[in-house]
Amino acid sequence: MPDSAFDRRPAPSEGDIDDILVWTVIRVGRRVERMVTDRLAVHGLTPVQFGMLAYLGARPGMNQSELARALQIRPQSARDAVTAMIDRGLLHRTGPEGRGRRSGMQLADEGHALLARAWPVVAGIDAATVGLAPGDDVTLNRLLHTVLDAPAHPSRPAPTAG
């Protein structure tokens, strides 16, 4: 049976919704991802594929699990993206494949060339493009990295009596 106190609670206002930090972050993330997706489409890349090219350019030899963690995606999504990129000739495996074997990857020549074309597209999305004042992007980026660097599952505080 529904809790009668809950039934009488007023619906949240739009201001209440806007005050929820994580919901704002989700909405901003979706907007920026659409922007990046639209700009990368001309190169036949998704944001995840761009991220894989960038990370493998910076750290050759990463495996699928490391890429999934770096990109904050599920291992299944990483596997699908890696397979598609190998099929396109953008990257190749550097070690033996198989269950329990570490198989790193590197960019193929075409992967390096595509990264060189796509990098300025993403890097060119500056503060003004996303509606920030010059310099605010540096502050926002620093704060977002604080969130990324925090433990994924921090211990939860004890509930307060209420």
pLDDT band per the 50, 70, 90 thresholds, residue 161: low
Encode 10-48: b = buried (16+ Cβ within 10 Å), e = exposed.
eeeeeeeeeeeeeeeeeeeeeeeeeebeebbeeeebbbb
Mean pLDDT, range 104-129, rounded to an integer = 96
Give the separation between CA 82 and CA 92, rounded to whole angstroms. Answer: 9
Residue type, 66: E
pLDDT band per the 50, 70, 90 thresholds, residue 4: low
The mean-pLDDT minimum among 7-11, 29-33, 53-57, 121-125 falls in 7-11
pLDDT at 103: 81
Nearest partner of 29 among 138, 120, 147, judged by Cα:
147
Model confidence, pTM: 0.82
Helix (H) / strand (E) element for 132: namely none
Pick the residue with more confidence: 159 or 24? Answer: 24
For residue 142, CA distances in Å to 96, 131, 139, 147 come to 38, 17, 5, 9
Q: What is the DSSP letter of 91?
A: E
Encode 95-112: b = buried (16+ Cβ within 10 Å), e = exposed.
eeeeeeeeebbbbbeebe
Note the pLDDT tens digit of each residue in 88-107: 999 999 876 666 667 899 99
Mean pLDDT, range 20-28, rounded to an integer = 95
Mean pLDDT, range 115-124, rounded to an integer = 97
